[in-house]
Amino acid sequence: MAKELKDQKEKKTTKEAQEKKAEEKKVYTEGQMKEVADKLAAEKDSYLRLMAEFDTFRRRSAEEKLAITAAAAAKTIEGLLPILDDCERGMALLGVSAEDSETNGVALIYKKLTDYLHTLGLKAIEAKGEPFDTDFHEAVTQFPTEDEAQKGKVIDVVQTGYTLNGKILRYAKVVVGV
């Protein structure tokens, strides 16, 4: 009886192995092959779209991070502009009434501050003697002039204007000749 069970078990195992081999050798019809190829193409397309979306997300995230950093830097530099103005006024006053060492001390601090801000991309707008340009200048007042060469040009700068990396941070407040 044990031998019969063993023989039946071997027949069953052999039959299963033959079925497995037959399944492996199974020939697919042309329609089935096309269906599999279509599914594979759809999955590949889906994968490529997902990767493209991820790349777009990563790029946008990096750009937003840079924009936030630039905006914070611009706000900080904008807060330092009144200090620059005060340094300019202080140097003008010291130049008239103070000793050379005091003037040199303030000039040294002013130069270090402007050099550092220049490395961050801050540039003063050159206005005096230039033609009046509403893209860079804000006219505070107009002053009559008899010299034709001065008409339509900036005669005096009331407050210096600045650009930060090519963008206007503060317009130059000027007096225009008419």
Q: Is 43 exposed, middle or buried (0-12, 13-18, 19+ CB in 10 A)?
A: exposed
CA distance 5 to 20: 22
Place of tokens 């206005």: 127
pLDDT band with cut points at 50, 70 and 90 for residue 103: confident
Q: Which domain holds residue 96?
A: 74-120
- pLDDT at position 52 is 95
Q: What's the number of domains the chain is made of? A: 2
Same domain, 127 and 172: yes
Query: Parallel, antiparallel, or unpaired for β 137-143 and 172-177?
Result: parallel
CA distance 163 to 125: 7
- Say if 8 falls within a structural domain: no
pTM of structure: 0.60
Same domain, 143 and 103: no
Same domain, 140 and 106: no
Same domain, 135 and 155: yes
Report pLDDT digits (tens) over 24-36. Answer: 666 667 778 888 8
Average pLDDT, the chain: 83
For residue 139, the domain's CATH number is: 2.30.22.10
Q: Is 159 exposed, middle or buried (0-12, 13-18, 19+ CB in 10 A)?
A: middle
Same domain, 129 and 163: yes
- Say if 108 falls within a structural domain: yes
- In the DSSP assignment, the letter for residue 142 is E
SS3 state of residue 136:
coil
Higher per-residue pLDDT: 9 or 33: 33
pLDDT band with cut points at 50, 70 and 90 for residue 11: low
- Say if 27 falls within a structural domain: no
How far from chain centre, in Å, is Cα 129? 35
Instruction: Transcribe 42-102 into DSSP letters.
Output: HHHHHHHHHHHHHHHHHHHHHHHHHHHHHHHHHHHHHHHHHHHHHHHHHHHHHHHHS-HHH
